[in-house]
Amino acid sequence: MEEKQKLSSVSLARLSNDDAAALINLTIDDALLVRPQIGEMASAALSEMEQTGRAFRAQTNRSKKSQLTDQVNLERKVCVDGYAEIKKTVVFESSSRIEPRKQAAIDLQFFLKPNWDITKSPIGDQIDQTAKLMLQYRANPMLVTAGQTIAVDMLMNELEANNAALSVTFKARELEEGRQAPSGSDLRPAATDSYNRFCNIIEQAINFTPNRVILELFIKMDMLRKRYHALQTSGKDKSTAPSA
């Protein structure tokens, strides 16, 4: 028996809202071009996917257009650069030939080590972890003295102030996005379900009622899935093709 054709695996759950919306809507665009030739069931599934997928993309685009997004990105970069300067100074001074400076740097490096990659965390975690880090630093006179010894105490002050400013802007953006109803995340499950149904129907068609149009659409959809599979975040994918 000839092996049934299957679409390549892709997990929409491991794609960002932007990438998931793009995959769904590019599939819609390809399918609409050949709608009269794909059969009644596929056409009905396409109508559903078009409705849910377009709404999902529209909401995702509105969220991206927040007036505060650029400010958040700018303020976050200031914090990232500031923390990088602190780490750079600490590493440099840990090799100092002046013993008090070397020891101060070693003490600070040990203190910072658990949070060394703090700026690689999601922005909300970065803000919270930085605030906790600063509280711990201020509560330990030995660390403050070490910071003053190698001239990073001023940098720590700047990081604390910049992180507080970032927190205010980030929360303002969250509030702004929260007022947009429904959210992109709320619309995502319906769009994903519609996409999965359409993929299943096209798989059935290519195996049981194939024609040139169905084959070409299948190939285009498969190429899209392969492209977006490469954009998935790390983690165990529990889905199986054509599920997403």
The residue ranges of every structural domain in the chain are 12-65+183-229, 69-178
From first to last of its 244 residues, the chain has per-residue pLDDT tens of 568 899 999 999 899 888 999 999 999 999 999 999 999 999 999 999 999 999 999 888 766 666 788 899 999 999 999 999 999 999 999 999 999 999 999 999 999 999 999 998 888 889 999 999 999 999 999 999 999 999 999 999 999 999 999 999 988 887 776 665 555 568 899 999 999 999 999 999 999 999 999 999 999 999 999 999 998 886 544 333 333 4
Inter-residue contact 31 to 217 (CB < 8 Å): yes
Say whether the peptide bond before residue 242 is cis (omega within 30 degrees of 0).
yes
pLDDT at 178: 63
pLDDT at 186: 81
Nearest to 25 by CA among 234, 221, 197: 221
Nearest to 129 by CA among 150, 159, 157: 159
> How far is residue 224's CA from residue 168's CA, in Å, rounded to a whole number?
39
Nearest to 9 by CA among 226, 231, 235, 232: 226
pLDDT at 66: 64
Phi, psi (degrees; rounded to nearest 5) at 96:
-65, 145
Axis crossing angle, helix 153-178 with helix 141-149, rounded to the nearest 10: 110
Nearest to 42 by CA among 155, 199, 188, 183: 199
79: amino acid identity, one letter: C
> How far is residue 15's CA from residue 64's CA, in Å, rounded to a whole number?
16
Inter-residue contact 82 to 161 (CB < 8 Å): no
At residue 179, the 3 state secondary structure works out as coil
Q: Tally Cβ neighbours within 10 Å of residue 121.
A: 14
Flag whether the pTM goes above 0.85. Answer: no
Q: Quick one: three-class SS letters along 106-154?
A: HHHHHHHHHHCCHHHCCHHHHHHHHHHHHHHHHCCHHHHHHHHHCCCHH
pLDDT at 2: 66
> How far is residue 242's CA from residue 6's CA, in Å, rounded to a whole number?
7
Q: Tally Cβ neighbours within 10 Å of residue 45.
A: 22
At residue 211, the 3 state secondary structure works out as coil
Helix (H) or strand (E) holding 206: helix 184-208
CA 116, 122, 125, 130 torsion-angle sign: positive
Inter-residue contact 118 to 70 (CB < 8 Å): no
> How far is residue 182's CA from residue 219's CA, in Å, rounded to a whole number?
34
